[in-house]
Amino acid sequence: MSTLHSRKAASALKNVEKITRHDQTFWLLRCKRDLMEHKLPEWESLREHASEIKKHTVTHLAQYLEKFSKRLEANGVIVHWAEDAKEFNETVLDILHKHKVKKLVKSKSMLTEECELNPFLEANGINVVETDLGERILQLLNEKPSHIVVPAIHVTREEVGELFERKGISKETGNYDPTYLTQCARYSLRNDFLDADAGMTGCNFGIAETGDVVVCTNEGNADMSTSMPKLHIAVMGLEKVVPDYHSLAVFQRLLCRNATGQPSTTYTSHFRKARPGGEMHVIIVDNGRSDMIANDEHWQTLKCIRCGACMNTCPVYRRSTGYSYSYFIPGPIGINLGMFKSPQQHSGNLSACSLCLSCDNVCPTKVAPGSQVYAWRQSLSQLHLANPAKKLISNGMCLVYYNPSLFRTSLKFAPIVNHLPRFLLYNGLNAWGKGREMPVFASESFEQMWKKGKLK
């Protein structure tokens, strides 16, 4: 009954020290988030307000997207629409070719990860440089992000130092001081900013009323990516649009507090038009998001603002790492997004949830990812993806629990199991017993003790 996730998790758990550090790191982020919550008496009303804004915007998306694009165009920005990842990638490449771009500097964007833009551009002769420190480390390691906010937090400073030494970024062998390594990365990237032909940013929020593209970072790499090259390409999923500045204010108070436990990101940059003498493009991408809107049971997934709070609190993610999931976004929200993308490919992730629903409690926009995971599990039979062994066990339990005489008989003879040899209980047929000890069955049931007057 093991899934791809469980097999990958088992491999990750062999490194106890690394898993423990991973667990503690993200629990610290969860604790910092809780401190922020306790400092705001209006916290729950903010969550409710954010949820209602997202619900309103998603159900009036065409109206707000049209308004947003018109504001952008009125400011001289060129707006593109992409139905899927293929059209998105080709649109970016077409813009770059028209401007004879050889080097592109990028700030962090999960949308480009979703559409696998980097390998596509590199295969077409474009030198792509990630400028977010975490993303740059992963790019040099040739790895994918393991978290949507802190993508390389699983990499130790020693590993970063050795990487920078191999790449010639660090000149001091054995110096793994984080401040020194950050300075090395800054010096290295500065040259890339200076000679880049184009800059690309993601988009945390698109303001329909004004046409602002809002980018939140802690490093300022988005500003550098847009202030040096004259060509700026901003990319965004269509769900990123919000009505106005009043709405933005609500999300700004929640985003960073939930993500890293900070009151706000260090930089919140608004891009409304191209720099003088430059050109700005905004590409709005669907790539399955319209299908989410049409799903009555799971449309709430579009309310997600990608803060990562659900991952930080998830006991399964913390103890299995992001690389144990088959979808590029891990954790509770990634499980749901993966099911939208391809149930056949990503249904194994559904087992990576204890249904503790801690993610429901911390989500700033009340997406309720844990509850949605439960709903996806209920649909596995309809999708013909239910595990045959689990179905057999469930049907057997139904037979016992819905038949009182059979249930009582089973309870009567259950204590026999306590005396059976281990090899009969712990084998390939008992998946539950792998890593667990079977319970000791009581000699008398609660019902029997009640009838005998042993309970008071």
- Same domain? For 274 and 397 the reply is no
pLDDT at 22: 96
Whether residues 256 and 111 share a domain: the answer is yes
10 Å CB burial of residue 40 (0-12, 13-18, 19+) is middle
Q: What is the pLDDT of residue 429?
A: 78
Residues 142 and 236 both lie in one domain: yes
Asked whether residue 368 falls in the same domain as residue 404, the answer is: no
Residue 455's pLDDT is what?
A: 81
Whether residue 171 is contained in a domain is answered as: no
Domain for residue 443, yes or no? yes
For strand 127-130 and strand 103-106, is the pairing parallel, antiparallel, or unpaired? Answer: parallel
Rg (CA), the chain: 26
Please report the sign of the dihedral spanned by the C-alpha atoms of residue 443, residue 446, residue 449, residue 451. Answer: negative
Q: What is the DSSP letter of 52?
A: H
- Spatial separation of the C-alpha atoms in residues 95 and 9, rounded to whole Å: 41
What CATH number should be reported for the domain holding residue 324?
1.10.1060
Same domain, 95 and 211: yes
Share of the chain above pLDDT 90, in %: 82
Structure confidence at residue 160 (pLDDT)? 97
If you count them, how many residues does the chain have? 456
The pTM of the whole model exceeds 0.95: no
Whether 377 and 407 map to the same domain: the answer is: no
231, 323: one domain = no
User: Which parts of the chain register pLDDT below 50?
Assistant: none
Q: Are residues 46 and 5 in the same domain?
A: no
Listed residues 238, 262, 290: the one ending a domain: 290
Same domain, 91 and 30: no
Counting other chains too, the contacts that 290-294 makes at CB distance below 8 Å and 24 or more residues apart are 290/238, 291/340, 292/340, 293/58, 293/59, 293/61
The reported pLDDT for the residue numbered 1 is 55
Q: Are 48 and 107 found together in one domain? A: yes
Please check whether residues 25 and 131 belong to one and the same domain. Answer: no
**Residue 166 forms part of a structural domain:** no
Alpha-carbon distance 415 to 412, whole Å?
A: 7
Number of structural domains found in the chain? 3
| 26 and 55 belong to one structural domain | no
pLDDT tens track for 208-250: 999 999 999 999 889 999 988 999 999 999 999 999 999 999 9
The amino acid that residue 5 corresponds to is H
Range of the domain at 424: 388-452
Considering 385, 407, 434, which residue would you say is the last residue of a domain?
385
Contact 322, 145 (CB under 8 A): yes
